[in-house]
Amino acid sequence: MYKLLNKIPTDILVIASLLLGLAPFVPEPHLWEKLKMLVAGDLIRPIDIFDLVMHATPVTLLVIKLLLQRKNNQG
């Protein structure tokens, strides 16, 4: 898993995280809207769940990659 994640450039993950995580920019970021739905218990339609996964994937991969890099640099 680490080898596959290591092949993805960090700058690409940052750009994808910003674009997919914040799109659409108006009226509110889609990821934020879906997270609010999740907390409220309104995230029940399959399209909304897929949308959350799609918008959160680059952010999740970026966080995992940065944590693994930090762990490898310390150890």
Rounded CA-CA distance 12/55 in Å is 15
pLDDT in tens, 2-23: 788 889 999 999 999 999 888 8
Range of the domain at 60: 2-74
What pLDDT does residue 25 have? 77
Rounded CA-CA distance 41/29 in Å is 19
Rounded CA-CA distance 43/35 in Å is 9
Average pLDDT over residues 29-52: 91
Whether the model clears a pTM of 0.85, i.e. scores above it, the answer is no
* Domain count across the chain: 1
